Structure 1
Amino acid sequence: MPSPSVSEIISCLSGYDPDALTVEQAQQIVRQCVAPVDSVERLALRTALGRVLAEDIISPINVPAQDNSAMDGYAVRAVDLLGEGPVDLRVVGHTHAGMVHESAVKAGECVRIMTGAPMPEGCDTVVPQEFVLTVTETTVTMPAAVAKVGDNRRLQGEDLREGTPALLKGRILRPADLGLIASLGIAEVPVRRRLRVAFFSTGNELRSLGEPLDPGCVYDSNRYTLYGMLQRLGCDILDMGVVRDDEAALEAALRSACENADVVVTSGGVSVGEADYTKQVMARLGDVKFWKIAMRPGRPMAFGRIASNGKAAWLFGLPGNPVAVMVTFYFFARVALLRMMGAQSDQLPVLRAASQSDIRKKPGRTEYQRGILSQDSSGVPQVRITGAQGSGILRSMSEANCIVILSHQQDSVKAGDAVDVLALEGLI
């Protein structure tokens, strides 16, 4: 079933105003529009790191396969330890991981056992070697009641039972997951195909690295931050360079992008006074809405779906200022891309920290301040702003380790007040 269009989603919203959209409204529209890609491929386990699991991994075996020892020590029958004084047991064997003690252990007997070795038949408990009083070649003496039934024994299937889910689809596979899958004897995993994302910057004033910097021009930084953010998400990336402020050039770039990618991300060209021909081009190519979002930085943004020659892609038209392009990517595009990748909902944890200074703010917009999160002498989280917060000051993002989120209705903050903080490490 095809995804609903932006216009269809918007028609169901009450109070929709493209010139006064809240962050939450814009996020809701984006979330309802996009859907996961369908294609699935099977990969060798070693090449699956960072990919999105397309199906549940069901354990074909019990892990561990048998009851085994969690300690180096002696496998015993707990009932033999119930006397009031020290207990002498006869040592009838030694067993290590990968070995099986062949005979059943009888009353008054025990087996020297190493960590990971299967529990001998008849034994239900392991006494750690450091708890033993004396040892000879054939006997061992232990304190009475030194262990209870089941102590230091790992049960069959304690980690995973045969037939139960080990990992659920939508998980972005991490190093521990590769080890878990390997422990089940599974060599290949089904994953969603990589999302293809094309991106470019717009503006006559932009120069690529290696080009001379003419008067009034700047080097294009946005493509490099976008590249880094997309690379971290594990996307297949198509860098289309800088597109000049020209209607024909923009249309050609957008057509090429949507014919070769699932998503198109642009930076620049969506602000007031810049977007007239941009709107015309995007209107010819599809259903794109231009928004003024009640947020700082990043007020102007375009979102929609464009098509060319039978191919279609979702479009994120981000602002041109360096900080604004990163903030809008993190809080709008990133969640949409993860959803299209088939990833499970990725709600990043918001922390509370005490502001180290006053922060001026008026209710009526969401603000994203760049901050440095630390702890005071008592270990209580605290945060300070990096300095000037202009949307063109990329250094503020480079120095920051978190983003301070000041909500739509929030007023100014006094030093010592608690504020919401999102660690950048979770994003980048």
Structure 2
Amino acid sequence: MDLPRLQAAILIISDTAFRDPSTDKAGDILSDIIAIDGNDQWESTKRDIVPDDVFAIQRTVSQYCDGEDYVNLLITTGGTGFAVKDNTPEAVAPLIHRHAPGLVHGMLQASLEVTPFALMSRPVAGVRNKTLIVTLPGSPKGAKENLQAILRLMPHACQQAAGGDSRKLHSGGIEKLEEDAGVRSNKRQKHHHDDHVHSHDHTHDHGAHVVPKAHTRPEDRPISNDPRAGPTSRYRESPYPMLSVEEAVSLVLAKSPAPEAIHVPVNGSLVGHFLAEDVEANDPVPAYRASIVDGYAVIVSETGLSTKGVFPVASVSHAAPGEISTLQRGQIARITTGAPLPPGANAVVMVEDTVLRSMTDDGQEEKVVEILTDQVKADENIREVGSDIKAGEVVLRKGDEITAVGGELGLLASIGKAEVMVYRKPVIGVLSTGDEIVMHDRARPLQLGEVRDCNRPTLMAAIKGWGFQVVDYGIAKDKPGSLEEHLRNALRNVDVIVTSGGVSMGELDLLKPTLERSLGGTIHFGRVNMKPGKPTTFATVPLKTSDGNPATKLVFSLPGNPASALVTSHLFVLPSLQHSSGKQGRHGLPRMKVQLEEDVRCDPKRPEYHRVSLTYGFNGLLHATSTGGQRSSKVMSLRRANGLLCLPVKEWTAPKGEIVDALLMGGV
């Protein structure tokens, strides 16, 4: 069988090699094995080195397995023993969607034939998305033995993991698979093995391929807790890898739907949309030669005769439409700003350069006017046809925003556009969750344990302020049925759902399991290395629209604490909405330099987004003043907050006067 060439990657997990890559010996050995023993089925071998750190391991594994450029096979080496810092199984196992215990057994068996100490290894193997992951020992000898034991089987496994047709792959039976892989079973030497293989052949002959099925063990479950299992079975530590803010935003943008072009009438509903095509003028602006001053249309002689003198006023040209008589030599016509130039006229004299000599008998009209200057030139004070906009000229470009300032809307109206093609703006639903949450405007006093819902009004105000339509989906209780019902109802009617609460480690934090288990969604990240907002969750849910077409809806599940919810909405929800609305360039809040008005202490463990009030100072810089205590539940920290300081992970207090980065959330 001609197998397609596959992508492999090697991840070395070692503090020592991370500090000094020259100390790594296993990487080169594994690369050579793939090149020599890989039967020319591997396209390339990528390589990375990370320290013995769970988050670093998980972050790199996710990068190799998630997204369009995934590798078919990811091999890790190191960290599978019993040493205190051997954390590879603990880092990798929660990321695996389907475990492969057979590969683990095969590797251990191969090493066990060499030394009994092979039993001291703790490998794991399995599939994440379309990538097969295998963890090998850190010793070059042990890693080599383990990889050689399974390498020839890997192309077949990777093809299946990537979605290959199992019926075609197994059409020749086990013996054909062994021949293609270049391996031999022991069935020709051991009779009971022959019987075993025959049973497999029989299965394949009937076209039924036996695959592992998920069980109730934690390693076989979806990554989230099973809400039916009760508090004693919940995770004590989040199984989700910790992503940086930058990594999380990149994932959000990668998974957000591409902009959809629609036709919209040229009126106030256009404000906030981005154009999906260039806009050309059908007609020139102005469409006729017009005066740019109030005065008198005249005929300037081509022979240079002066305009100075006394002239009868033959007609009047107003900006209002109407018939205009042809001007004859020796006559002038009164004209107003913007009015069309009478046929025959070729210049306009300002009213300031004239005096009235006589009027009609009824005193209502000018009869004779004297022009006091002889300096007027041909085409003076005239706006030519198309001098503002030429016919066919591109007046607005694809990606331009129709702003509330009004200039773009006025421009479209001036060229007679009835409708234009723009990108559709997504509709967002907002939902609060929690048994303790009650309506903020409820009349009766709070009972013990109740909390007024401030997140939903806050998030809805922010989303409206960004220029998007928002739908209120109320409060869902911490019960699987209630939460699922609210989410299903919202998914049918909006493009994006923003929830708050229910994403931490409590037994009633049901957002993640409901999204995965009940709605068939995919959680792309469940933790972000930031303060506030660590448990922020982003997921996609596939469904079919009312007309049967497939669609993907986004769900942003934000933390329940008010500051966390607002900060994470600006950092993650806003860029997604801008992307799907067709905004070009950088997405998210504007970043700028600000000067501190006071000392601000950094967090030594997580990057912090510190709420501040930004004002302009006398030195032209924006000055930042902290809004007070930054605890994520502290609502007062949101008062007057129009900016977020971007503070690094550091044992450091930024002094007053220091220049730091900040994100602008609102007007200054």
What is the TM-score normalised by the length of structure 2? Answer: 0.53
Deviations 1:39-58 (A, max 9, x none): 73544735544455555443
Alpha-carbon distance in 1 for matches of 2:660, 2:244? 20
Alpha-carbon distance in 1 for matches of 2:251, 2:612? 29
Pairing partner for 1:306 from 541, 550, 560: 541
| Partner-residue secondary structure (3-state), 2:243 | coil
2:558 is aligned to 318
C-alpha distance 129-213 of structure 1, shift in aligned 2 (>3 A): same
| Partner-residue secondary structure (3-state), 1:289 | strand
Q: Is the 8 A contact 1:267 1:320 kept in 2?
A: yes
Pairing partner for 1:268 from 501, 506, 510: 501
Alpha-carbon distance in 2 for matches of 1:398, 1:150? 60
| Partner-residue secondary structure (3-state), 2:286 | coil
| Partner-residue secondary structure (3-state), 2:386 | coil
1:250 is aligned to 483
Of Structure 1 and Structure 2, which has the larger fraction of its residues in strand? 1
Is 1:103 the counterpart of 2:326 in the alignment? yes
Deviations 1:363-383 (A, max 9, x none): 775433333333345665433
The alpha carbon displacement at 1:222 in A equals 0.9
2:522 is aligned to 287
1:397 is aligned to 638
C-alpha distance 159-395 of structure 1, shift in aligned 2 (>3 A): farther
Q: Is the 8 A contact 1:52 1:173 kept in 2?
A: no
The alpha carbon displacement at 1:219 in A equals 0.6
Is 1:226 the counterpart of 2:444 in the alignment? no
Alpha-carbon distance in 2 for matches of 1:325, 1:62? 50
Pairing partner for 2:571 from 311, 331, 334: 331
2:357 is aligned to 136
2:629 is aligned to 388
1:202 is aligned to 433
Deviations 1:342-378 (A, max 9, x none): 4455755444443222222257754333333333456
Is 1:154 the counterpart of 2:383 in the alignment? yes
User: Residues 30-179 of structure 1 correspond to what in structure 2 (within 5 A)?
Assistant: 30-36=252-258, 38=260, 40-43=262-265, 45=267, 47-51=269-273, 53-75=275-297, 87-88=308-309, 90=311, 93-98=315-320, 101-103=324-326, 111-120=333-342, 126-130=348-352, 132=353, 134-137=355-358, 138-142=368-372, 145=375, 152-170=381-399, 171-172=401-402, 174=404, 175-179=406-410
| Partner-residue secondary structure (3-state), 1:228 | helix
Q: Is the 8 A contact 1:259 1:312 kept in 2?
A: no
Q: Is the 8 A contact 1:90 1:139 kept in 2?
A: yes
The alpha carbon displacement at 1:297 in A equals 2.2
Alpha-carbon distance in 2 for matches of 1:417, 1:182? 48
| Partner-residue secondary structure (3-state), 1:389 | coil
Alpha-carbon distance in 1 for matches of 2:436, 2:293? 68
Q: Is the 8 A contact 1:201 1:243 kept in 2?
A: yes
1:3 is aligned to none
Residue correspondences, number: 414
1:375 is aligned to 616
Deviations 1:192-249 (A, max 9, x none): 5552323312222211232652202211111111222333345444433222223443
Q: Is the 8 A contact 1:305 1:314 kept in 2?
A: yes
The alpha carbon displacement at 1:404 in A equals 3.5
Q: Is the 8 A contact 1:53 1:173 kept in 2?
A: no
Q: Is the 8 A contact 2:327 2:333 kept in 1?
A: no
Alpha-carbon distance in 1 for matches of 2:334, 2:483? 76
Kindly name which structure, 1 or 2, has the bigger radius of gyration based on alpha carbons.
2
C-alpha distance 271-187 of structure 1, shift in aligned 2 (>3 A): same
Aligned amino acid, residue 375 of structure 1: Y
2:66 is aligned to 7
Aligned amino acid, residue 199 of structure 1: V
Q: Is the 8 A contact 1:55 1:191 kept in 2?
A: yes
Aligned amino acid, residue 61 of structure 1: D
Deviations 1:67-110 (A, max 9, x none): 32222234457889x99x9954746554221357543575x876
Aligned amino acid, residue 103 of structure 1: T
Alpha-carbon distance in 2 for matches of 1:426, 1:156? 41
Alpha-carbon distance in 1 for matches of 2:292, 2:661? 43
| Partner-residue secondary structure (3-state), 1:258 | helix
Deviations 1:250-305 (A, max 9, x none): 33433333233321211112234568754333333221123432333222211121
C-alpha distance 143-115 of structure 1, shift in aligned 2 (>3 A): same
Q: Is the 8 A contact 1:75 1:127 kept in 2?
A: yes
C-alpha distance 7-180 of structure 1, shift in aligned 2 (>3 A): same
What is the TM-score normalised by the length of structure 1? Answer: 0.79
| Partner-residue secondary structure (3-state), 1:270 | coil
Q: Is the 8 A contact 2:354 2:369 kept in 1?
A: no
Alpha-carbon distance in 1 for matches of 2:427, 2:331? 65
